[in-house]
Amino acid sequence: MSQHNKAILLMIAAVFCFTVMDATAKELSRHLGIMQAIWARYAGQALMVLVIVLPRIQTVARTRYPGWQLVRSVILLGATGSFFTGISYIDLAEATAIMNVNPVLITLGAALFLGEGLGPRRAIGIGVALIGALIIIRPGSGVFTAYALFPLMAACCYSCYNLVTRYVGANEDAWTSLLYTAAFGAVILSVIVPFHWQPVDGHAIVLMAVLAAVGTLAQWLLIKSLTMGEAGMLAPFAYVSLIFATLWGVLFFDEYPDQWTIVGALVIVAAGIYVWHRETAQNRASERDKARASQGS
């Protein structure tokens, strides 16, 4: 399997885990409130990462980009806080659809700041996927409340986080990036959460554990994906989150999609498959050309 295909599969797996995390956070915030849910996500991840990397903590804690790691951590905390707030007030699928403007921002940002190409295939894939998201959102519908601004802010933060992760990840261990984002969020939120603390029962403890586990796995998968593939190429596959978010909404929150949500989801899947097919064909052609060139020399 090529690097590009591995990166795509890792991105889809990361998106799946992120939507599980979001659904868990939505349920947890109903019991404990938003602040405690965000704290559980970061404190749990910090503990898990620390246990995993403890035997080589001195190596993992060493970073070549301390400034950028701080920037990543601040941005991700902003994205998490904004999105968790949003899903507490609007449907999970609708919040996810609004946040899914971030692949457009990622692709444009990657072209502007990372020097990645913005070819016609990627542009078409991004555009078609965005149309699918707009079909689901349907401008002018009840989705556009003041609370819809929170997932929109999360989209801006998340796109910046992806770009910085792509820049840092080329020369940084994935566990290093995980450690810094988790530790930063855990420390900041541990200072704030006592003022918002609610009693925790057994059900909440299970939700907190799931939130930490899938959040950690999602971050690791995302970082690995972005170190193996270009941010712009991977951007359309983030739209798959709409499929998963809609499924969790139906199964756990009695939030049923209408026909337009289904149509939009199909458009998004088609866009992702198109980009994957074109990128795969282009990479195979490039590999054949390299092989011929090496044989000729």
Count of structural domains, the chain:
1
Burial class of residue 38 in the structure, from the number of CB atoms within 10 Å of its CB (0-12 exposed, 13-18 middle, 19+ buried):
buried
41 has a pLDDT exceeding 90? yes
Q: For a pLDDT cut of 90, what percent of the chain falls above it?
A: 43
Contacts 24+ apart (CB under 8 A), 256-264: 257/93, 260/135, 260/136, 260/138, 261/93, 261/136, 263/132, 263/135, 264/97, 264/132, 264/133, 264/134, 264/135, 264/136
Q: Provide the pLDDT confidence category of residue 187 given band limits of 50, 70 and 90.
A: very high
Q: For a pLDDT cut of 70, what percent of the chain falls above it?
A: 91
pTM higher than the cut 0.85? no
pLDDT, residue 60, reads 92
pLDDT, residue 124, reads 83
Joined tokens for residue 3: 């690097």
297 has a pLDDT exceeding 70? no
Average pLDDT over residues 140-167: 81
257 vs 219, more confident: 219
pLDDT, residue 172, reads 83
pLDDT, residue 258, reads 79
pLDDT, residue 165, reads 85
User: Which residue range(s) make up the domain with 189?
Assistant: 3-296
Q: Provide the pLDDT confidence category of residue 167 given band limits of 50, 70 and 90.
A: confident
143 has a pLDDT exceeding 60? no
In whole angstroms, how large is the CA radius of gyration of the chain?
19
192 vs 274, more confident: 192
Q: Are 158 and 15 in contact (CB under 8 A)?
A: no
